[in-house]
Structure 1
Amino acid sequence: MKTQRLISSYDEINDIFYGKIDGKNGYFANYAVNKGIFINIDKNGFPVSFFINHASNVLHISKEILEESNVKVGIDCDNISIIFNIFINNVKIYNGKFENNYKIPAFNFMLDTNY
């Protein structure tokens, strides 16, 4: 598993939760892996950022919790599925498993605001 420093933010007004790997800018492709959850991939097929529209509804969590700064996001991808986990204050708040319909190459990343 490769660990990268995560920069995350939450826009309470528009209810958008956003995260990007520190030092990465732009992306090669954007994939809607589930309703409201998008992962941005670089030219090598690795994640560089993600965002979640209507985050409090998609994640079934309060807006106040999404404003916390201790965030970890695990993204695991193989030829069959994409697993997307979110931890806030070391508590798993979301676990989603989606089909890899996009043929995204295999990777295993942990994005951590405290890395």
Structure 2
Amino acid sequence: MMGPGKKKIEQLEKRMRLLGIRKADIKERFIRSSGKGGQNVNKVATCVFLKHIPTGITVKNGSERSQNLNRFLSLRSLVDKLEEKLLGKKSAKALLGEKKRKQKKKKF
């Protein structure tokens, strides 16, 4: 299975350093995923549950078949949420969602 590339991992670690997020502050649990994935999903704990202990923010990701990729995706999501909370910055995904909601309101 393919995981995240070295460059993406380094970028994420750099963002964590800039925000002052330590890996020791993150509690990590692996649980079984639900949904697609066949025997792999039933047999291997591929779903990742992360909790940032100081803030209490939690993230759960089991969208991929690979535990390594789910770990990266959930850590990235957690960093996005912490960045939004600490700096007041909204992620690109959140901004896109707001834009779509505004466009829907204009139609009526």
Q: Which has the larger radius of gyration?
A: 2
Greater relative contact order structure (CA < 8 Å, 6+ sep)? 1
Q: Same fold by TM-score, threshold 0.5 exceeded?
A: no
TM-score, normalisation: structure 1 = 0.29
Structure whose residues are more often strand by fraction: 1
TM-score, normalisation: structure 2 = 0.30
Structure whose residues are more often helix by fraction: 2
